[in-house]
Amino acid sequence: MMTLVMPQQWATPHRQRAMALVIVLWFLALLTLMVGALAYSMRVETQTVSNAVVSARGRAVGEAAIFWAIAEMAKPEDERQVLEDGTPFEWEFGGAKVTITVLNEAGLVDINTASRELMAKLFTDLGGLEAEQVDALLDAITDFRDQDNVRSLNGAEDEDYEAQGLPGAKDAPFESVEELQRVMGMTGTLYRAVAPYMTVYSHSSGVNPRYSPRGLLLVFADGDAAAVDSWMAERAEAPNSAMPAFGQGMFAPSRRNSYRITADSGFPDGTGRIRVSATAFVYPQQQPPYVINAWREQVPGAGAVVDDQGIPSQ
């Protein structure tokens, strides 16, 4: 049987106490590291949960604002608190402040039915395109949505798309504004400039300026801000006032029950910021009284987090 014999110099009480102290110190250091790591992990998890709660609250407020606006649009026009011409309306809910805008889509340019003159004006003024570029793009849009395979003078059909390695023309009407990005010749810069003013729901060759946003009215007025602001003031005072003097030939006195609704919300401390957008048909006398056609939720700086139609963040 072997017996472990400690060296004589280690056997003194003084050295034994020193070794014990070293072991205790190492143990305390290790314990401190473990406690620190656990505390950090708990702080991270707590912050993550807190952020998720705030985000969920912000999203709930945005959704509530959308459905409140839909309910407003179901009321008679003279009983509504919010206008349908894009005028911002300030609303509070759940401790958050919300800016709501509603646009009747009769005030926007329909990709499927707008006149060629109207589309050309939009692409020229907002996109800075030359006449030849506009003609080519308009022909490409026509070829994209028509059902035949006959190429327009400056247009593009399936073989042209295939040559560029792109999916072919749809050969059917546009079902969303986002599909405009598939048209040959449509650039990202041009799309971002015109998309806010386009729709597929007005079904009109012109627009109703009583519902058009200021940016689109400026196009019709050739950038004359004074004329636009003056007419918008008249519109606010008398919604059924005469059509503006500018933009002749591009207007149509139509009205739709389709609305583009946007809610920008956030809490006073700067948290929970989110933009919720929806396109909805409102049918007050039917069940259900509304139909959601598109829905998007966008957190500032994070892009679109929920998007039913692939709408790019703007």
The pLDDT tens digits of the residues spanning 104-131 come to: 999 999 999 999 999 999 999 998 889 9
Evaluate whether 26 touches 60 at the Cβ level (below 8 Å).
no
Express as a percent the part of the chain with pLDDT over 90.
Answer: 50
pLDDT of the residue at 166: 85
Q: What is the pLDDT of residues 143-176, one digit of tens each?
A: 889 888 888 888 888 888 888 888 888 889 999 9
> What CATH class is the domain 109-201?
mainly alpha
Please state the domain extents for the chain.
58-107+256-307, 109-201
More confident residue, 2 or 85: 85
8 pLDDT above the threshold of 70: no
11 pLDDT above the threshold of 50: yes
| For range 21-26, the mean pLDDT | 73
More confident residue, 107 or 21: 107
Q: What is the pLDDT of residues 63-106, one digit of tens each?
A: 999 999 999 999 998 899 999 999 999 999 988 899 999 999 99
Q: What is the pLDDT of residues 217-226, one digit of tens each?
A: 999 999 999 9
pLDDT of the residue at 281: 93
Q: What string of DSSP letters covers 166-226?
A: ------S--SSGGGGGGSTT--HHHHHHHGGGEESS---SSB-TTS--HHHHHHHTTT-HH
Residue 147 DSSP symbol? S
58-107+256-307: CATH number: 3.30.1300.30
308 pLDDT above the threshold of 60: no
| For range 244-251, the mean pLDDT | 90
- Name the least confident of 5-9, 91-95, 137-141, 180-184: 5-9
Evaluate whether 211 touches 235 at the Cβ level (below 8 Å).
no
Mean pLDDT, the chain, integer: 84
Q: Please name every residue paired with 281 in a beta bridge, in sequence order, or none if there are none.
A: 258, 291
13: confidence class by pLDDT, cuts 50, 70, 90: low
Count Cβ atoms within 10 A of the Cβ of residue 203 and give its class: 0-12 exposed, 13-18 middle, 19 or more buried.
middle
pLDDT of the residue at 9: 54
